[in-house]
Amino acid sequence: MKNLIDIKDLSIEEIDELIKVAKNIMQNPEKYSEKCKHKKLATLFFEPSTRTRLSFEAAMMELGGNVLGFSEASSSSTAKGESVSDTIRVVGAYSDIIAMRHPKEGAPLVASTKSIVPIINAGDGGHNHPTQTLTDLLTISYEKGRLDNLTIGMCGDLKFGRTVHSLITAMARYKNIRLVLISPEELKIPEYIKEEIIEKNNIDYIETNDIEEHMSKLDILYMTRVQKERFFNEEDYVRLKDYYILNNEKLKKAKKDLAILHPLPRVNEISTEVDEDPRACYFKQAECGKYIRMALILKMLDIK
């Protein structure tokens, strides 16, 4: 596999294999500590990040490799007017693999056509975020022991939330998946995801704006932040940002073995009291991000 731009670039078998390797790394990290000796990962982040960039960097370090890159466009030659294509061509001479995040949808895809080394999409605007999805799948597999036969509630900003788009794309390929899509009217899932992914794959789904209505049926509750940076005006954001605040009260009817996920960062959408609930998996999920990225780097560099 040359690049990872969309989660569909990976087959179900490849995803299963990545999860298997990631679980093995979790158990035997020392076995992997020199696998990427003399290899370099470049992280080119044209948009803010904590987990994605640092987990990529920690992943490469734990594999014995090195990292370089920038964490904001303003500290790179982008500020002087350099195109993404030129930046990518040059960075390929300094690194073996590149993880890139960009506010423009499709930028990593364009970059991949110019790059001499593999490109990983670390988030492109409100479009996709395939490595977050791998993180989510590892977390679900770890918590539930399966990726099929699940009722998954997705709540919050389903319109701009790229992690939601990629996760739905991935889940649509597993058997017996039901989706409960919970959002305010203005932040509903885009039509193209509904038509091309959900309906095309005959996924059973419901759209609602009520977080409690189907709570008792959920195996997974995937909370998301309202994506402030994608709004055209502040007023709409302010009106919608606290639409959902998950707390202990709202979880009263939930299953005992519900898994609550969130790609993080959290703003207000999960009350901190929920952190103490054993069903809260979001910090574990962030940890899973490092292990699955280790497995991914090994795969993309073709290291056994």
Q: 57 or 178, CB closer to ligand NCD?
A: 57
Report the nearest approach of ligand NCD to the CB of residue 140 (Å).
15
Phi, psi of 289, rounded to the nearest 5 degrees: -55, -35
Smallest gap from Cβ 166 to ligand NCD, in A, equals 9
Per-residue b/e over 58-92, b at no fewer than 16 CB within 10 Å? bbbbbbebbbebbbebeebebeeeeebeebbeebb
Which residues contact ligand NCD (rule: CB under 6 A)?
Answer: 51-52, 123, 129, 132, 162-163, 225, 263-265
**Could you give the 3-state DSSP secondary structure of residue 162?**
helix
Q: Shortest distance, CB of residue 129 to ligand NCD, whole angstroms?
A: 5
Whole-angstrom CA distances from 276 to 132, 157, 247, 281, 283 are 24, 24, 11, 10, 11
Q: How far is the CB of 227 from ligand NCD (least distance, A)?
A: 6
| Amino acid (1-letter code) at residue 208 | T
Closest separation between CB of residue 156 and ligand NCD, Å?
A: 9
Only one residue has tokens 């078998």, namely: 13
Q: Tell me, rounded to whole angstroms, the distance of Cα 80 from its chain centroid.
A: 30
Nearer to ligand NCD, 35 or 102 (CB): 102
Name which of 32 and 45 has its Cβ closer to ligand NCD. Answer: 45
Task: Report, in Å, the least distance between residue 132 CB and ligand NCD.
Answer: 5
Asked whether 222 and 282 are in contact (CB, 8 A), the reply is no
Least spacing, CB of residue 216 vs ligand NCD, in Å: 27
Residue 108's H or E segment, with its range, is: helix 107-114
Q: Which one, 29 or 48, has the nearer CB to ligand NCD?
A: 48
Q: Which is nearer to ligand NCD, 39 or 159 (CB)?
A: 159
H/E run at residue 119: strand 119-124
Nearer to ligand NCD among residue 178 and residue 292 (C-beta): 292
Question: How far from the centroid of its chain's Cα atoms is residue 302's Cα?
Answer: 23
Q: Which is nearer to ligand NCD, 178 or 224 (CB)?
A: 224
Sheet of 204-208, strand order: 204-208, 177-182, 150-155, 220-223, 259-261
Task: Write down how long the chain is.
Answer: 304
Ramachandran angles phi, psi of 152, nearest 5°: -115, 120
